[in-house]
Structure 1
Amino acid sequence: MTTFQLAASGSGEHRVLTISLFVAFVLATLAITVWAGRQSKGTEDFYAAGRQFSGFQNGLAISGDYMSAASFLGIAGAIALYGYDGFLYSIGFLVAWLVALLLVAEPLRNSGRFTMGDVLAYRMRQRPVRTAAGTSTIVVSIFYLLAQMAGAGALVTLLLGITGEVGNILVVILVGVVMILYVSIGGMKGTTWVQMVKAVLLIAGTLLITVLVMLKFGFNVSELLGAAAENSGKGSAFLEPGLKYGVTAMSKLDFISLGVALVLGTAGLPHILIRFYTVPTAKAARKSVNWAIGIIGGFYLMTIALGFGAAALIKPDTIIESNPAGNTAAPLLAQEIGGGAGSAGGAVLLAVISAVAFATILAVVAGLTLASSSSFAHDLYVNVIRKGQATEKEEVAAARWATVGIGAVAIALGVFARGLNVAGLVALAFAVAASANLPTILYSLFWKRFTTQGALWSIYGGLFSSVILVLFSPVVSGAPTSMFPSVDFHWFPLNNPGLISIPLGFLLGWLGSVVGKEEPDTEKYAELEVRSLTGAGSA
Structure 2
Amino acid sequence: MAIAGDALSAGAFLGLTSLVYNKGYDGFVYAIGYTTGMPLVLFLFAEKIRRLGKYTFTDVVHARLGGSAVRIFGGIATLVIVLFYLTAQLVGAGQLVGLLFGMKYCDGVILVALLMVAYVNFGGMQATTWVQIIKAAVMLFGGSVMTFLVLDAFDFNMSALLHAAVAQRSAGTALLAPVTLPHAAASSVSLGLTLMLGTAGLPHVLMKFFTVSDVRKARWSVFWATGLMNYFYVITGVLGFGAMALLSHDTRYLDEHGAVKGGGNMVALHLAHALGGDLLLGFMSAIAFATILAVVSGLTLSGAAAVSHDLYGAVRSERNDGPSEFLVSRIATVLIGLIAMCLAFMFRTQNVAYMISLAFSIACSSTFPILFLSIYWKRLSIAGAVWGGTAGLASAVAMTIMGPSIWVAVLGHKEPLIALDPPTLLSMTLAFLVSVVCSLSSTSRTTGKETIKIISQVP
> Which bracket does the TM-score occupy, shorter chain normalised?
over 0.9
Match of 1:532 in 2: 455
Task: Tell me the CA shift for residue 252 of structure 1.
Answer: 2.9
2:266 pairs with 311, 328, 344, which one? Answer: 328
Residues 316, 93 of structure 1: alpha-carbon distance in 2 compared, 3 angstrom cutoff: farther
TM-score by length of 2: 0.95
Match of 2:99 in 1: 158
Residues 158-213 of structure 1, C-alpha deviations (whole Å, 9 max, x = no match): 22233xxxx11111111111111121111110100010111011111111111111
Q: What secondary structure, in the 3-state scheme, does the structure 2 residue paired with 1:494 have?
A: coil
Contact 2:39 2:223 in 1 (8 A): no
Give unpaired runs (5+ residues) of structure 1.
Answer: 1-59, 339-345
Q: What secondary structure, in the 3-state scheme, does the structure 2 residue paired with 1:484 have?
A: coil
Q: Distance in 2 between matches of 1:392 and 1:535?
A: 33
Please say if 1:427 is aligned against 2:357. Answer: yes
Task: Tell me how many residue pairs correspond in the alignment.
Answer: 454
Match of 1:11 in 2: none
Contact 1:153 1:171 in 2 (8 A): yes
Task: Tell me the CA shift for residue 274 of structure 1.
Answer: 0.5
Please say if 1:140 is aligned against 2:78. Answer: no
2:321 pairs with 391, 395, 404, which one? Answer: 391
Q: What secondary structure, in the 3-state scheme, does the structure 2 residue paired with 1:286 have?
A: helix
Match of 2:397 in 1: 467
Match of 1:404 in 2: 334
Match of 1:216 in 2: 153
1:521 pairs with 423, 442, 446, which one? Answer: 446
Task: Tell me the CA shift for residue 470 of structure 1.
Answer: 0.5
Residues 415-458 of structure 1, C-alpha deviations (whole Å, 9 max, x = no match): 11111011110000000001000110011111111000000112
User: Aligned AA for 1:134?
Assistant: G
Q: Distance in 2 between matches of 1:535 and 1:270?
A: 23
Match of 2:63 in 1: 122
2:347 pairs with 396, 404, 417, which one? Answer: 417
Q: Distance in 2 between matches of 1:448 and 1:171?
A: 49
Contact 1:325 1:420 in 2 (8 A): no
Residues 388, 273 of structure 1: alpha-carbon distance in 2 compared, 3 angstrom cutoff: farther
Q: Distance in 2 between matches of 1:232 and 1:352?
A: 29
Moved more, 421-430 or 499-508: 499-508
Q: Distance in 2 between matches of 1:171 and 1:78?
A: 23
Q: What secondary structure, in the 3-state scheme, does the structure 1 residue paired with 2:420 have?
A: coil
Residues 107-162 of structure 1, C-alpha deviations (whole Å, 9 max, x = no match): 11222421111112223242100000000000000010111011112222222233
Match of 1:19 in 2: none
Task: Tell me the CA shift for residue 232 of structure 1.
Answer: 2.4
Contact 2:99 2:262 in 1 (8 A): no
Q: Distance in 1 between matches of 2:96 and 2:21?
A: 16
Q: What secondary structure, in the 3-state scheme, does the structure 1 residue paired with 2:213 have?
A: coil
Task: Tell me the CA shift for residue 324 of structure 1.
Answer: 9.3
Contact 2:5 2:133 in 1 (8 A): yes
Task: Tell me the CA shift for residue 386 of structure 1.
Answer: 1.4
1:10-89 to structure 2, matched below 5 A, reads 60-89=1-30
TM-score by length of 1: 0.81
Contact 2:194 2:361 in 1 (8 A): yes
Please say if 1:285 is aligned against 2:202. Answer: no
Q: Distance in 2 between matches of 1:291 and 1:413?
A: 34
Q: Distance in 2 between matches of 1:158 and 1:232?
A: 25
Q: Distance in 2 between matches of 1:157 and 1:186?
A: 27
Residues 345-395 of structure 1, C-alpha deviations (whole Å, 9 max, x = no match): x2222221112111111111111111111121111112x121142221222
Match of 1:56 in 2: none
Q: Distance in 2 between matches of 1:359 and 1:198?
A: 6
Q: What secondary structure, in the 3-state scheme, does the structure 2 residue paired with 1:476 have?
A: helix
Q: Distance in 2 between matches of 1:404 and 1:156?
A: 21
Q: Distance in 1 between matches of 2:133 and 2:350?
A: 28
User: Aligned AA for 2:214?
Assistant: T
User: Aligned AA for 1:272?
Assistant: V
Give unpaired runs (5+ residues) of structure 2.
Answer: none
Q: Distance in 1 between matches of 2:418 and 2:58?
A: 31
Q: What secondary structure, in the 3-state scheme, does the structure 2 residue paired with 1:400 have?
A: helix
Q: Distance in 2 between matches of 1:422 and 1:84?
A: 18
Match of 2:165 in 1: 228
Match of 1:21 in 2: none
Contact 1:156 1:171 in 2 (8 A): yes
Q: What secondary structure, in the 3-state scheme, does the structure 1 residue paired with 2:370 have?
A: helix
Match of 2:375 in 1: 445
Residues 398, 489 of structure 1: alpha-carbon distance in 2 compared, 3 angstrom cutoff: farther
1:497 pairs with 389, 412, 423, which one? Answer: 423
1:483 pairs with 401, 410, 415, which one? Answer: 410
Q: Distance in 2 between matches of 1:325 and 1:506?
A: 39
Residues 20-50 of structure 1, C-alpha deviations (whole Å, 9 max, x = no match): xxxxxxxxxxxxxxxxxxxxxxxxxxxxxxx
